[in-house]
């Protein structure tokens, strides 16, 4: 068995770029409505102000996410941890495998649990109630949305298979 196994992934660059594009589009619409729209446009200044505020908020949020250097997904000797699940690491003993679900517009990389009922029952009550409300936690699957981390599905699948292989050795 080799050294320590750890794969760590941050937020996907495409996600940040899409956020900035959305902010830019809203800013252009807001500037047009505020400064260039025909005075007969009803609510033009209000529409412009609201769009500029939304653009600023989205740009700030994306800037903050781009500055965040903490990992969003960690696959290591202990198991798999994804920030958006708001759980402790899911240990290898609880993982049966991985698969891809969804379509082109909403694809997910999923971790399949061995015993979903036992996994949820082992969580503290507060975490269990939050997990049951989390749309990414749908036993027996724990979902990772496409483009949420800076790795593609084949890379994630290879890391999961490596972790499973190491844990069974």
Cα-based distances in Å from 93 to 6, 116, 136:
17, 12, 20
CB count in 10 Å sphere of residue 159: 21
> CA 134, CA 83: separation in Å to the nearest integer?
12
What percent of the chain is modeled with pLDDT above 70?
98
Give pLDDT tens digits for 22-80.
Answer: 999 999 999 988 888 777 777 888 989 999 999 999 999 999 988 988 999 999 999 99
Question: Can you give the pTM of this predicted structure?
Answer: 0.80
């Amino acid at each position: 068995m080799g050294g320590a196994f750890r794969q760590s992934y941050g937020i996907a660059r495409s996600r940040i770029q899409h956020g900035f594009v959305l902010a830019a589009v809203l800013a252009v619409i807001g500037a047009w409505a505020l400064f260039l729209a025909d005075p007969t446009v009803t609510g033009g200044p209000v529409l412009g102000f609201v769009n500029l505020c939304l653009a600023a908020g989205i740009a700030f949020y994306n800037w903050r996410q781009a500055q965040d250097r903490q990992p969003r997904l960690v696959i290591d000797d202990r198991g798999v941890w994804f920030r958006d699940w708001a759980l402790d690491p899911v240990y290898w003993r609880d993982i049966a495998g991985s698969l891809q679900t969804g379509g082109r517009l909403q694809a997910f990389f999923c971790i399949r649990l061995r015993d979903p009922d036992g996994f949820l029952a082992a969580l503290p009550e507060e975490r269990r109630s939050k997990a049951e409300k989390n749309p990414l936690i749908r036993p027996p699957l724990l979902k990772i949305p496409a483009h949420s981390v800076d790795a593609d599905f084949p890379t994630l699948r290879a890391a999961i298979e490596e972790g499973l292989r190491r844990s069974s050795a």
